[in-house]
Amino acid sequence: MSGKSFELKNRTGSSSDSRFFGREKELTRIDTVLEEVLEGKGRTCLFEGEPGIGKTRLVEEAVARSSAGRYLVPRGRCFEEEGTPPLWPWLEVLRGYAAGCGWDSILQAFGRRTSALAGSLPEPQEYSDNSPG
């Protein structure tokens, strides 16, 4: 699957914060995943754990590192609250991908299965003139 390249920045608009330390094992794994992506291998990273242990900060560091390679990094977040739609983080990921690469890329990647996605993404028309529906 190919798409456009985008320079991504973390929430502060700057690159990686030099005050980030620790998590060497996780950072090494992130760097390995980014190298594998450069080799053309599709990869997904899942950051999980108890509230307050630094997942968001680790994701921000991963995004900052990926920005140097100009990767598209769509993200989804989980919420443990009533009323959260099923598969919410994956819907956020798909929306982020569509916003970065366009609905046409999703059509190409998922082929006939796109109709199932269209029902989960109520706004595909925002991403392309060729969106379904």
What is the model's pLDDT at position 32?
A: 93
- The string of DSSP codes covering 70-90 is T----------STTPPTTHHH
Structure tokens at 118: 């269209």
Does pLDDT of 50 surpass 60?
Answer: yes
What are the DSSP E strand ranges found in 1-133? none
CB 113 within 8 A of CB 106: no
pLDDT for 26: 92
Write out the H or E segment, with its range, that includes residue 45. Answer: none
What pTM, to 2 d.p., does this model score?
A: 0.61
Ordered by start, the domain boundaries in the chain are 1-73, 79-133
Q: Classify the phi-psi angles of 111: left when phi > 0, otherwise alpha if psi is within -120 to 50, otherwise beta.
A: left
pLDDT at 129 over 50: no
| Tens-digit pLDDT profile for residues 59-105 | 988 888 887 767 788 888 888 788 888 888 888 888 888 888 887 88
CA atoms within 13 A on the CB side of 107: 12
